């Protein structure tokens, strides 16, 4: 039977049309339904905002303090509250929707239904490759006797936190690419039976970069596969990432995150020798590689055999051949543990984001 969220839960999704993008993101993250329903002062539905709407807004450089109206879907699919349940379920499945607001005769929100309440999604048979072969030299003494992915954060190895997050998302088949102090990683994780998953290893005889070792997998994946750096602490929704890749019919998808850099000086714009503008301490906005990717099996044909090859090189090669490559904007917690101060921050943040 199709379940409708209890009143106290779907009401968590209600936000005012006066809300900002930031307040909308907070509402989505705090609620169980992962959607925001924008209403007017009388409770009538004006629009909806999903995680995907937020990500698209980020790519369009819409600021967090701007109005939710900048990113909301103004024509969400709705149903009358007395629509038969079998019709509601059929509509959700045919339109590949996760949620649908229920409204009354005046267009006021009176409920919310979710497909997630109906069935447990089947586990993914997509392969995950975790890149854990680097030396982590920037971490100085911390990695003298320990590979970076095995550094303990929150009381357990970083790589175990990554693995558990992926397992919770439904992934069961893993490769771990190893080189530096590989035996420490293999002795800890073995074949994965302690976590009820399958783990195999890619042995890099020499460092092969963030993509080079993919050509050493024992099997060629039959479906899109996930690749992730083994030094990344993140709450990325891997199911959202995989769905995004599939829906955009991409050859490869790179997770990207926002990076802002304030120039600590007044920037002078010139026309020849004439000053035409001075901007004091401008903030430069960039998207940077987050270290998580979804790749189609055909990507493997771009890899040189048994040689060093980084992910940016792989994406550049695909771009030159006009393959469709897409960016998945990350708005969740995402920390590359490359320096001692990152390691300290990760331990400080762990309880807040991973417990």
Summarised one tens digit per residue, pLDDT across range 189-218 is 999 999 999 999 999 988 899 999 999 998
Diameter of the chain measured on Cα atoms: 74
- 65/22 Cα distance (integer angstroms): 6
Query: CA-to-CA distance for 144 and 139, rounded, in angstroms?
Result: 9
Task: Write down the domain spans for the chain.
Answer: 7-117, 124-354
pLDDT at position 9, please? 63
Q: Give the closest residue to 217 by CA, choosing from 179, 176, 250.
A: 176
Please state, in angstroms and rounded to a whole number, the distance separating the CA atoms of residues 181 and 73: 50
Helix axes 182-189, 158-168, angle to 10 degrees: 40
User: What is the pTM (predicted TM-score) of this model?
Assistant: 0.77
Indicate whether 1 pLDDT > 60: no
pLDDT in tens, 122-180: 789 999 999 999 888 899 999 999 999 999 999 999 999 999 999 999 999 999 999 99
Query: Would 7-117 and 124-354 be classified into the same CATH topology?
Result: no
Task: Tell whether domain 7-117 is in CATH 3.40.50.140.
Answer: no
pLDDT of residue 120: 57
**What is the CATH T-level fold of the domain 124-354, as seen in this structure?**
Spore Coat Polysaccharide Biosynthesis Protein SpsA; Chain A (3.90.550)
Query: What does the pLDDT read at residue 309?
Result: 94
Calculate the CA 219 to chain-centre distance.
Answer: 26
Give residue 5's pLDDT band: very low, low, confident or very high (50, 70, 90).
Answer: very low
- Under 8 Å between Cβ of 283 and 262: yes
Task: State which H helix or E strand residue 140 sits in.
Answer: none
134 by Cβ neighbours in 10 Å (0-12 / 13-18 / 19+) ranks as buried
Which pLDDT tens digit goes with each residue over 43-65? 999 999 998 999 999 889 899 99
Helices (H), 250-339: 311-320
DSSP string across 76-120:
---EETTS-HHHHHHHHHHTT-SEEEEE-TTSBEEEEEEGGGT-P
Angle at 53 between CA 261 and CA 228, to 5 degrees: 60
């Amino acid at each position: 039977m199709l379940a409708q969220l209890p009143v106290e839960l779907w009401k968590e999704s209600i936000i005012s049309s006066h809300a900002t993008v930031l307040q909308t993101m907070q509402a989505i993250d705090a609620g169980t339904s992962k959607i925001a329903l924008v209403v007017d002062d009388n409770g009538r539905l004006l629009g909806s905002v999903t995680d995907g709407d937020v990500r698209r807004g980020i790519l369009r450089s819409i600021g967090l303090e701007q109005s939710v109206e900048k990113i909301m879907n103004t024509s969400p699919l709705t149903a009358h509250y007395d629509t038969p349940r079998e019709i509601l379920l059929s509509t959700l499945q045919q339109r590949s929707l996760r949620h649908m607001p229920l409204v009354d005769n005046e267009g006021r929100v009176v409920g919310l239904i979710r497909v997630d309440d109906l069935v447990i999604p089947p586990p993914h048979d997509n392969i995950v490759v975790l890149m854990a072969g680097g030396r982590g030299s920037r971490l100085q003494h911390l990695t003298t006797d320990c590979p970076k992915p095995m550094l303990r954060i929150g009381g357990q190895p970083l790589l175990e936190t990554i693995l558990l997050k992926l397992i919770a998302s439904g992934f069961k088949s893993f490769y771990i690419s190893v080189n530096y102090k590989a035996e420490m990683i293999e002795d800890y994780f073995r074949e994965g039976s302690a976590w009820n998953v399958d783990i195999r290893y890619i042995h890099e005889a020499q460092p092969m970069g963030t993509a080079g070792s993919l050509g050493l997998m024992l099997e060629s994946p039959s479906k899109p596969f996930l690749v992730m750096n083994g030094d990344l602490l993140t709450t990325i929704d891997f199911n959202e990432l995989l769905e995004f890749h599939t829906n955009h019919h991409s050859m490869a998808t790179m997770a990207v995150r926002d990076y802002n850099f304030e120039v600590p000086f007044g920037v002078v714009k010139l026309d020849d020798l004439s000053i035409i503008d001075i901007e004091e301490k401008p903030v430069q906005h960039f998207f940077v590689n987050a270290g998580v990717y979804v790749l189609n099996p055909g990507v493997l044909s771009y890899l040189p055999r048994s040689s060093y090859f980084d992910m940016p090189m792989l994406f550049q090669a695909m771009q030159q051949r006009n393959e469709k490559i897409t960016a998945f904007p990350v708005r969740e917690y995402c920390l590359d543990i490359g320096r001692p101060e990152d390691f300290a921050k990760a331990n400080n943040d762990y309880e807040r984001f991973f417990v």
